[in-house]
Structure 1
Amino acid sequence: MDHQENEDASDDGPSVASKVFFAELCGLLEKISKTQGNDKKKRIMKEFIDKWRDYHNQLHKDDKKTSDSFYSAMRLLIPHLEKERLAYGIKEHMLAKLLIEVLCLGKDSPDANRLLNYKAPKSAKMEAGDFASVAYYVLKNRCPEKGSLTIKEVNNCLDGIATNNAAKKKELVRKNILHLLTNMSAIELKWLIRMIVKELKVGLSQASVLSVYHPDAEEFYNVNNNLEKVCRMLREKDVRVHEIGISVFSPFTPMLGERGAPDQIEKIMDGKPYYIETKFDGERMVLHKDEGNYKYFTRSGNEYTSTFGAHELDGNLTPHIHNCFKPFVKKCILDGEMIGYDPVTKTFATKAMNTDIKRQQQEGLQPCLHVFDIVLLNDKVLTNQPLTERLKILRTVFEPVEGRILLSEHKEARTNQDCADALNDAIDGREEGIMVKNLESVYRPNTRKGGWFKVKPEYVGGLMDELDVLVVGGFFGVGHRSGMMSHFLCAVAVPPEEGEEPKIFHSFCKVGSGYSKKELSAFNLKLVDHWKTFDKKNPPTNIILASGFKEKPDAWIEPSKSCLVQIKAAEIIDSERFKTGCTLRFPRVEKFRDDKHWHECMTVADILELKEKSGGKLAGGRVEINEDAGPAKKKRKVVSRVVRPTLADRFKGVDASSITKVSEMLKGKEFCVVNGSSSFSKPEAEKKIIEYGGTIVQNPGSSTFCVLAEKVALRVTNLIKRDMYDIVKLEWFHRCIEGGTWVPWSPGDMIHTSPKTQKSFQVDYDQFGDSYTEDTTAEQLKNVFDRVNKDDIDEVNETDIAELEQKYFPDESPYGLFRTCRFYIDKYLVIDDTTTHIKDSSLDLLELELRFFGGITTDELDDEVSHVLVDKKDLSRVPEMKRERRNRRKKFHIVTSEWVRECVEEGELSSERQFEPT
């Protein structure tokens, strides 16, 4: 077992991969996909693997240099685990375009449309939603009957595609794909496509495939996340891995938590004590340290050392924690959660705040690692030691540094009530939940059955708010859900006039879980006659999606024909993918609502109000344990809150009882301070408001004078969307306090202006914020110029520029000659009834000249085109252009390059009629 190999790159000797044809592997997958029952599928897989091993042993006996394992086949059987090929950059749509180009299909041909619109309902006979089966239909009459490539050759091509795509060498990618197309049968290409998109759909999980290969394969992969290493080290099926090899800088999947309920903890723990920890809402991160070198890995094995730092002078975290380790610590592996920390407010961010702490820069936040376990210390693996011993060791490893690296706090508990109290505290503090851990649990990588339990509000019935939303769109399913809508786009209503039904709906979330296949089939059957294909060029006017259609459904449905669904989720988070500006985290369908009408769904205002009041969290109740029935029948009881949820301490306002009033300057004015700066914090601003006679609230209402903010954070964005309040920069208030006198607002002081204040500004200020009545300072003038540069440029169009040129430079400037013209450059020619794009067209240079003289060029023959420029050497498409022109209300001219030359020489636009080709 001492061979070091990668058979796809080794020339040391023959390999099984170079002897076995790819067609045999595809035949295996075809057979497995048509077989029913997991055990039968695994038996077929086992026969193939046993033959591979026998063939390898025979080769090894004949040629001692042979060094090869099952890795070549395994990386094709479980393609989503092959990290070396993450850079394909190819999905179904890109594959469709490549196939159309390589097969020289007409861009409007039926087969091209099948490939590009593989999810469309009209393709249902070809398994709608499954690109590979649609591609097979298109390819079956265009490919050889039998392929000639071996598994090794296919792997070489796939490696070439990944490498060249990452290097932006598109021509080499095309060459590799062309080689595969011309040497494979259609059935082989079907399975190849599924390997490329990393979805085989044969009904065998990765755990099943790995267990067939070797009983220790899955556990060993969970430790090292290296498929090649698993296949090489476990080449012989009778060799067992008795000790898990954890080592520094080798990523592994950390230990995970199983779902738990507060009323079951005593039973699970057998009445013994257990630890409770806060469940952090961050990014799971494992820190590896070897002397002065560091590496950071996520739960899935992705490395973020470049962000956090490989040594003490690198990154945004390592320089701050390098000196906190005790001198005796040479090597260690620490398990924890990376969270964003705000050093000004001394609070931690959550994912609901739309933060990604893995990014190099996070405005106002710094990474902080909460460490809750240790896996290795100075070459000694600690996984087999109980949790209590590991935590004792962990406390000796480093000194915590505020806001950089902290030791997770835990408390010992024993009863169900202890667990319920801890969960209620987490709900009150807007935390994600709690972790419950067995004191004697050992550390088992990538398992949920090791004695750790996560308890979250959404796991306890009755604790979560439920939302009734309307289904407005559908997404075609794949695999066992193919042929029907498996995921749904849901929306909420724009509040209608009183007594009227809503007419406009804003997209809010996408949901695809929580229901059984039977429930899904029944729901599909109910709506089947009402689905309409979504046309992005002509979208429905009553269903408003986010700008750019970031969540575009395959089909849509008239709201009046649709149904409500009741959804539960962990929280409402900020999102640009939906028109509401927010969406749900971890949504799932509770039930399809047949008892409510379509127009009774929630409104946009309902969602924003719920989000603002709860800080995004949707836990609306408390859990209570009923102790009256005795220890044998302890049950949880869920009761609704009697009072509104209260804010956590860090969000509460200052205590006004001890503040002395010094002025009446702000008498009668109510303020809401959202956030502050490092020099003038939120509590300081609130204290000053009270000192100067004003009042403060934590949520603005109808009597609120204005909202004060230093920066546009998530909450400020939500208030802007409501368009009800004047949101003023905190520096304006600071100027009032420093001067001891009231300073009226100016447009430059505003983050957002209410409609009423906007009308007032229009009387006293011009569109750039320059006052009609007050003298302007140098600083104010600079701000006005900045606004002119930013705002005014968007209002100037080509016609305005042409008029200005004509007015001020009627004779001197020829460079606006084509300023009012919009050109479509026709770079296509017709060969054997097929339209082909010309890469190096003779019109390329002329296109640059048109733009030099002020013209606009476009690649699409849109409604604004005024001139179509064709190559006089090939006029085959002119009749097609003329037919198109006859169908348009706004006509365009068809000209050759001679017209352009004439215009430039004459210095004015010449008549197009004499230059139109016949």
Structure 2
Amino acid sequence: MSVDRNKSFAEFSDLCESILKAKRKDKVCLLADYILSWRSHPGYNATNPETSFFPCLQLLCPALDRSRPAFGLKEFSLVNQYLRILGINKKSKEGEMISYYKLPKHAKVQSDLSSIIMKILASKGRTQNSDLSIKDVNDCLTRIALSYQDGNQSGINSNLEHLILNLGPLENKWLIRIILKSLNFRLSETVILNTFHPDARSFYDCNQDLAEVCVKLADDRIRGFVVSLTVFKPFVPMLSERIEIKKINSITSGKPFCIEKKYDGERIVLHKQGDVFKYFSRNGFDFSESFNKSFTPFIDPCFNKISDCIIDGEMLGFNVSSNSLITKSQLKFDIKKLTDGDLEAFHPVYFVFDILVCNGQQLTSKPLKERSQILSEYLQTKENWLMHADKQDGNDKYDTIRCLNDAIDKRDEGIIVKFWDSIYKPNIRRNSGWFKLKPDYIEGLMDDLDLLIVGGYYGDGRRAGIISRFMLAVAVKEDDCIDGRRFRSFGKVGSGYSDSELKTLLEKLEPHWVKFNPSDPPSFLELGKAKPEFYVEPKNSFILQVKASEFMESDDFAVGTTLRFPRVVCIRYDKKYSDCMTTEELSQLQEQGNLFTRQIGDLSDDDDEPVKKRRKPVSDRKFASHFILANLDSVEMCKDILQGREMCVLNGSSELPKISAEKLIVQYGGKISANPTKECYCLIAHSVEDLRVKNLIKFGNYDILRLDWLMNVLEHQLFISPSYHDYIVMTSETRESLSRYFDQFGDSYFVDMSRDDLLRAVESIGYDYQIDNDDEDAEESENFYSEANISSLNGCEVFIDSMPSDSDNYPNIAFARASLTFGGAEISEEEENSTHQLILNDKNELILKNRQPSDLSYIFDSDQCQWHPITD
């Protein structure tokens, strides 16, 4: 029997609820244990998606599941379905709770639809869980999706009714969240995938296929995933990193790069094989049906030299009458959904900037320069339909400034700086080799900030009695969150909008305000001294585009700074809450200084580094070798084994010195950090004798791997996950993760021990190891001591009364202590808490007295090393 037939949906719901309520550090452990139980089930077979972990993963990550069509059920539809199926009158108390679930008056704190449904079902006496399996629920969900695709409403109704009426209250809660494709248990999809396998998120980004993730990455001990794209398999395209103009010089100095126009359109990846074209959005949604009507017939001849390919680009609109481009912000319709009537006035135009597969050849590992040459050679263009993105070589920061000034003059969105040697990495933004530069990133040009409304305050004067001032926040960087997005308060704003604009905004926010309770603040929001009167969940909020004169320090807000004289420039209804500024972006802006106006042309070399004061000459000083970072400017990557992992080499060996190790790490695709940081994958050391390493070991905040591990990886030319004995010291999180594969002495549960492994395991036990007294140990102890009837000491505490000062000369005392410990007793140094007392009588006999007079005492026979009961 497959695992999904054996695993109940009730158990899955209990898991989700436990994860929701668990502390952050325990969430991953709960999920990992469940995954392990699935893998260890007799019905688990990873060669087939149906018998692999896929049936569970598509429930854990419903928003990433592309295996079935949309359910066609949003909150409004589900409200009506539950009212119909449960026979609840909309005007009744329960009907109002369901219909107007977003209003805070229906709960002490704002609740979601799934929680309210659970409470109502529980109040009706439905407390029993169902006997439906995960397969039963998945089958119903698939039929609902197919019925929606076919326009079969009765199919939707019947399958949903079967689920709602048969599932218990808690199961209904998680069913609703699965249908809405947001489990919202504060565990991100990236963490879920990487708990299944460390490479799962990277692998998914290349094919957006959860089933393939479960089959190809079934064994989480095998690493070494290589990027490979497949025609007609959608993936998450490569992203560009935001950067300030003053950092361009340090990034591009001495490194060839190109400058590309940043297009304000829809990111579209085109796949072609034979005569078939498919078009996918950056999120993997298929828009082929629309573009194959409005676009493919007009650009097909451009592919005469190409049999199959994957190309990446930006889709804009073209105004036929004005003979001009139309950006996304200017379009009053969706370019992905043009109708035949629209085509008379507008049509798509595709600007291609990369090619990833061409005539069966994978190009992702080739440098951008070579990919661009292949693109120019094989892909023909058609004016105003299919065009190559504008690119030009850059030599220094002045080329970048000139191109950005041109973009400003032309009212373009900005520019992209790309290293010519950058390889293509799906869904990678940081350290990708692509950098975006927009006018609003530049100090003084467009000093606007996209901030999220998270709180509200009543106004005064003519705006008294209404919420007219708002608390604003920035998003915490995603890498720092394993439990979903969090936000930090940053400031307040109460001007810049008209009464009519405020009225429209308040109408949209009105259903979502929640009274702020200082004793129960919202979990998504980090606050300083200032507290809002009301708060609003991020998903129900809006972004304000704000101008300000400068930053100033303030402990009123969680960020630690705020804005001076802020005012609203625009209310951005077109942006999602997740588009707001992040803490990392804010920090980068703060490094520039105040928000005052300045021309790009005024930038000079002096902006890159402060003016240096003259100093008196001093004698040359040298750093110790372990503090010197290798010169890595001329080091080129020969093979991407380490896949961007950042490492800090603390020291080296005579065989592989520190500087040589650092160069090898870069050559094989890694990055070097001069000092330990939270971004480091690990620290590398050979010797543990120097003070720096000793201190790092003492605090235990970083994983420190042996240099031998790195040498082993490079020798095998394959990334090998560190085993237990590869660590000099490990963090508690790493130890917890490895506990699934190794016991506490480093003995693998899955791989036979070698002689060296056995020696290392024995050495790690030490002489002070204490046996844990679990049930099996107690049973063995009872059998062993059955003759002496001493098994009753299992778990007891024995106080050793005053012994002779020369007790070392009494071997029987040492034997007695050893036998008590071996029998399961603990030696206590406090008489008050002990259960037994060991004394030496006048005859030099060792007596074990029970503190309960009614129980037996024992005398130790030193000749036989046994205890005998004392009877009257």
TM-score for the superposition, normalised by structure 2 = 0.55
Shift of 1:519: 7.2
Aligned to 1:19: 6
Aligned-partner Cα distance in 2 for 1:86–1:485? 38
SS of equivalent to 2:335:
coil
Shift of 1:270: 4.7
Q: Map 1:425-824 onto structure 2 (within 5 A).
A: 425-449=406-430, 450-464=432-446, 507=504, 525-526=532-533, 566-567=567-568, 622-624=599-601, 626-627=603-604, 629=606, 632-633=609-610
Aligned-partner Cα distance in 1 for 2:436–2:491? 27
Aligned partner of 1:364 among 341, 345, 348: 345
Shift of 1:347: 1.8
The one-letter amino acid paired with 1:169 is N
Aligned-partner Cα distance in 2 for 1:473–1:586? 21
Cα 1:80–1:472 change in 2 (3 A) is farther
Aligned to 1:157: 140
Aligned partner of 1:340 among 310, 317, 320: 317
Aligned-partner Cα distance in 1 for 2:601–2:179? 51
Aligned partner of 2:26 among 40, 44, 54: 40
SS of equivalent to 2:37:
helix
Aligned-partner Cα distance in 2 for 1:66–1:443? 29
Aligned-partner Cα distance in 2 for 1:53–1:584? 38
Structure 1 residue 128 corresponds to structure 2 residue 106: no
Q: Do the aligned residues in 2 keep the contact of 1:476 with 1:483 (CA within 8 Å)?
A: no
Q: Do the aligned residues in 2 keep the contact of 1:472 with 1:488 (CA within 8 Å)?
A: no
Shift of 1:633: 3.9
Q: Do the aligned residues in 1 keep the contact of 2:143 with 2:156 (CA within 8 Å)?
A: yes
Structure 1 residue 375 corresponds to structure 2 residue 361: no
SS of equivalent to 2:267:
strand
Q: Do the aligned residues in 2 keep the contact of 1:133 with 1:190 (CA within 8 Å)?
A: yes
Aligned to 1:384: 365
Aligned-partner Cα distance in 1 for 2:364–2:575? 39
Cα 1:321–1:590 change in 2 (3 A) is closer
The one-letter amino acid paired with 1:202 is F
SS of equivalent to 1:278:
strand
SS of equivalent to 1:295:
strand
Percent of aligned pairs with the same residue?
33
Aligned to 1:227: 210
The one-letter amino acid paired with 2:116 is V
Cα 1:413–1:117 change in 2 (3 A) is same
Aligned to 1:424: 405
Summarize deviations over 1:345-387 as a string: whole Å, max 9, x none.
3321112222422123335222111111110111010111111
Cα 1:338–1:59 change in 2 (3 A) is closer
Shift of 1:463: 2.3
Q: Do the aligned residues in 1 keep the contact of 2:316 with 2:325 (CA within 8 Å)?
A: yes
Q: Do the aligned residues in 2 keep the contact of 1:567 with 1:589 (CA within 8 Å)?
A: no
Aligned-partner Cα distance in 2 for 1:566–1:422? 30
Which runs of no fewer than 5 residues in structure 1 stay unpaired? 1-13, 310-314, 495-501, 535-563, 592-618, 636-918
Question: How many equivalent residue pairs?
Answer: 536
Shift of 1:60: 5.7
Structure 1 residue 188 corresponds to structure 2 residue 171: yes
Shift of 1:274: 1.4
Cα 1:565–1:168 change in 2 (3 A) is farther
The one-letter amino acid paired with 2:23 is Q
SS of equivalent to 1:297:
strand
Q: Map 1:50-69 onto structure 2 (within 5 A).
A: 50-56=36-42, 68-69=51-52
Q: Do the aligned residues in 2 keep the contact of 1:567 with 1:587 (CA within 8 Å)?
A: no
Aligned-partner Cα distance in 2 for 1:180–1:400? 53
SS of equivalent to 1:507:
helix
Cα 1:454–1:216 change in 2 (3 A) is same
Cα 1:335–1:482 change in 2 (3 A) is closer
Aligned-partner Cα distance in 1 for 2:578–2:443? 16
Structure 1 residue 321 corresponds to structure 2 residue 308: no
Aligned partner of 1:202 among 163, 180, 185: 185
Shift of 1:166: 3.4
Shift of 1:298: 1.6
Shift of 1:307: 2.3
Aligned-partner Cα distance in 2 for 1:356–1:240? 41
Aligned partner of 1:105 among 64, 76, 88: 88
Q: Do the aligned residues in 1 keep the contact of 2:245 with 2:437 (CA within 8 Å)?
A: yes
Aligned-partner Cα distance in 1 for 2:528–2:333? 37
Cα 1:487–1:252 change in 2 (3 A) is farther
Cα 1:131–1:522 change in 2 (3 A) is farther
Cα 1:216–1:194 change in 2 (3 A) is same
Aligned to 2:123: 141
Aligned-partner Cα distance in 2 for 1:583–1:240? 38
Aligned-partner Cα distance in 2 for 1:271–1:306? 46
SS of equivalent to 2:107:
helix
Aligned-partner Cα distance in 1 for 2:360–2:335? 30
Summarize deviations over 1:627-665 as a string: whole Å, max 9, x none.
252754499xxxxxxxxxxxxxxxxxxxxxxxxxxxxxx
**Higher mean displacement: 17-26 or 40-49:** 40-49
The one-letter amino acid paired with 1:398 is L
Structure 1 residue 167 corresponds to structure 2 residue 164: no
Q: Do the aligned residues in 1 keep the contact of 2:62 with 2:178 (CA within 8 Å)?
A: yes
Shift of 1:36: 1.5
**Higher mean displacement: 188-197 or 358-367:** 358-367
TM-score for the superposition, normalised by structure 1 = 0.52
Aligned partner of 2:18 among 4, 8, 31: 31
Q: Do the aligned residues in 1 keep the contact of 2:488 with 2:525 (CA within 8 Å)?
A: no
Shift of 1:318: 2.2
Aligned partner of 2:233 among 250, 257, 273: 250
Shift of 1:483: 15
The one-letter amino acid paired with 1:566 is R
The one-letter amino acid paired with 1:458 is D
Aligned-partner Cα distance in 2 for 1:416–1:260? 13
Aligned-partner Cα distance in 1 for 2:117–2:176? 9
Aligned-partner Cα distance in 1 for 2:578–2:192? 29
Superposition CA RMSD, Å: 4.4
The one-letter amino acid paired with 1:347 is S
Q: Map 1:386-401 onto structure 2 (within 5 A).
A: 386-401=367-382
Which runs of no fewer than 5 residues in structure 2 stay unpaired? 454-458, 460-466, 476-482, 513-521, 541-564, 584-595, 613-872
The one-letter amino acid paired with 1:54 is S
Aligned-partner Cα distance in 1 for 2:472–2:505? 19
Shift of 1:590: 11
Summarize deviations over 1:707-759 as a string: whole Å, max 9, x none.
xxxxxxxxxxxxxxxxxxxxxxxxxxxxxxxxxxxxxxxxxxxxxxxxxxxxx
Aligned-partner Cα distance in 1 for 2:96–2:490? 23
Shift of 1:441: 0.3
The one-letter amino acid paired with 1:48 is Y
Shift of 1:286: 1.4
Q: Do the aligned residues in 2 keep the contact of 1:253 with 1:445 (CA within 8 Å)?
A: yes
Aligned-partner Cα distance in 2 for 1:94–1:488? 37
Cα 1:429–1:98 change in 2 (3 A) is same
Q: Do the aligned residues in 2 keep the contact of 1:565 with 1:589 (CA within 8 Å)?
A: no
